[in-house]
Amino acid sequence: MTLSVYLAGPEVFLPNARQQIDRKIALTRAAGLVPIAPGDLTIEPQPTKRRVGHAISAVDETMMDSADAIIANLTPYRGVSADTGTCFELGYMCARGKLVYGYTNLAPDLRDRLIGYYDGKVHVDADGVLRGSDGLTIDDVDMSDSLMMQGGIERRGGQVVVHDAPPDQVFTDTTAFEICLRLLAERAGLPSST
Amino acid sequence: MTLSVYLAGPEVFLPNARQQIDRKIALTRAAGLVPIAPGDLTIEPQPTKRRVGHAISAVDETMMDSADAIIANLTPYRGVSADTGTCFELGYMCARGKLVYGYTNLAPDLRDRLIGYYDGKVHVDADGVLRGSDGLTIDDVDMSDSLMMQGGIERRGGQVVVHDAPPDQVFTDTTAFEICLRLLAERAGLPSST
């Protein structure tokens, strides 16, 4: 029996993308799982930039459709929250009924990251809701990112693994990713690879 | 014939959330469509904050499952990209085969917003890829946000409507939302409501 897993995350945007994706692919194989990685694609030449975007979107969706599971790297990317493309992919896989896991390499939860985002200038409104200085609600449900994502994962029996990576390894540390691989392999009843 | 549409977006986090959601509900009805709005829910008391998050996630997914379409507000939220929960929901609805539309109230595309994010300190690498000062790829496919989202919408015959809202109305301007409603009603073959 084989179980294939779509490796979602912002690794494709790294300067050393190929190296990092290859590392995740090797770790996935070592865990007894079949990696399906969004960097592994050839896009035919297209007449416009936007058509290039459509072509990548189509290939990535096809890859997701072929996978049994997803492990989504939800580490905050260019700001306080996860990479939006990865969030889309996680929603897509939840709706397709696949096995869903996620991880983040930043330990503070979304609430604490947002308090930092507002430099501590937050307040509780008359209804007891925590808000930033601009009045926007601060997510306060003990989760790493949007409740749609962590809720979508946990309600399906998956897990969001939180790891406190060194600041210079936030995009490359694979500790949490490897825990996800182990959880997924166990769930699929694969023999332990260690 | 009726067509129901899930109104996805960060409006639920606004200080005047109820008012803004009610406005979108009224506009949806005026367009001849049936609104399904994530603010319209009652969450039973839960033993922990995280269980509250799970309960909201469950209700929102049920609402999405019951809807024929989604209009996702992809206006950048607390940073350079869309609200992550909304991105998840858009991916979910794409995977469920629903009618998918989106809009943004910021006119500059993701490439230009990212050049701003890097204060113009961007460069083209040896492979011709545009990168920020931290080495991360700058999305450059003539789209408003991640190609997974705009590609997912456009490849399914939907549209991402771009509107240049006044800076103080970025979260409340409904011009682009109303265009989405019209496009959706036309696509569903509903009689014009104007």
pLDDT computed for residue B38 by the predictor: 83
Token pair in block for residue B107: 């006119």
**Model pLDDT for residues B143-162, shown as the tens digit of each residue:** 999 999 999 999 999 999 99
**Model pLDDT for residues A148-191, shown as the tens digit of each residue:** 999 999 999 999 999 999 999 999 999 999 999 999 999 988 87
Taking contacts as CB-CB distances below 8 angstroms, the residues of chain A near B147 are 53-54, 56-57, 85
Q: Residue A22 and residue B165: Cα distance in Å, rounded?
A: 43
Taking contacts as CB-CB distances below 8 angstroms, the residues of chain A near B81 are 78-79, 81, 84
Taking contacts as CB-CB distances below 8 angstroms, the residues of chain B near A84 are 81-82, 84, 87, 145-146, 148-149
Q: Helices (H), strands (E): how many in chain B?
A: 6, 7
> Residues 130..189 of A with a Cβ closer than 8 Å to B: which?
131, 135-137, 140-143, 145-152, 154-155
Q: What are phi and psi of B137, to 5 degrees?
A: -60, 140
Mutate to test the interface with B, among A57, A115, A121 (most CBs of B within 10 A): A57
Whether residue A193 has pLDDT greater than 70: no
Q: Nearest C-alpha of chain A: how many angstroms from B156? A: 10
Instruction: Summarize the confidence of residues A82-96 as an average pLDDT.
Output: 98
Whether residue B194 has pLDDT greater than 70: no
- Give the strand pairing for A34-36 and A122-124: unpaired
Q: Nearest C-alpha of chain B: how many angstroms from A145? A: 8
Q: Helix/strand/coil (H, E, C) string of B62-108?
A: HHHHHCCEEEEECCCCCECCCCHHHHHHHHHHHHCCCEEEEEECCCC
**Model pLDDT for residues B83-97, shown as the tens digit of each residue:** 999 999 999 999 999
pLDDT computed for residue B152 by the predictor: 98
**Model pLDDT for residues A39-54, shown as the tens digit of each residue:** 767 788 999 999 999 9
pLDDT computed for residue B40 by the predictor: 63
Helix (H) or strand (E) holding A163, with range, is: none
Interface ipTM: 0.97
- Give the strand pairing for B99-104 and A4-8: unpaired
Instruction: Summarize the confidence of residues A55-59 as an average pLDDT.
Output: 96
Is the CB of residue A76 less than 8 Å from the CB of residue A106? yes
Task: Pick A53's closest partner by Cβ from B50, B90, B150.
Answer: B150
Q: Which residues of A172-187 are buried (b: 16+ CB within 10 A; e: fewer)?
A: bbbebbbbbbbbbbee
Using 50, 70 and 90 to split pLDDT, how confident is the model at B193?
low
Task: Please tell me the pTM assigned to this model.
Answer: 0.97
Q: Residue A64 and residue A98: Cα distance in Å, rounded?
A: 9
Instruction: Summarize the confidence of residues A137-149 as an average pLDDT.
Output: 97
Q: Residue A147 and residue A155: Cα distance in Å, rounded?
A: 11
Whether residue B191 has pLDDT greater than 80: no
Polymer length of chain B: 194
B50 and A CB contact within 8 Å: yes
Cβ <8 Å between B84 and A82: yes
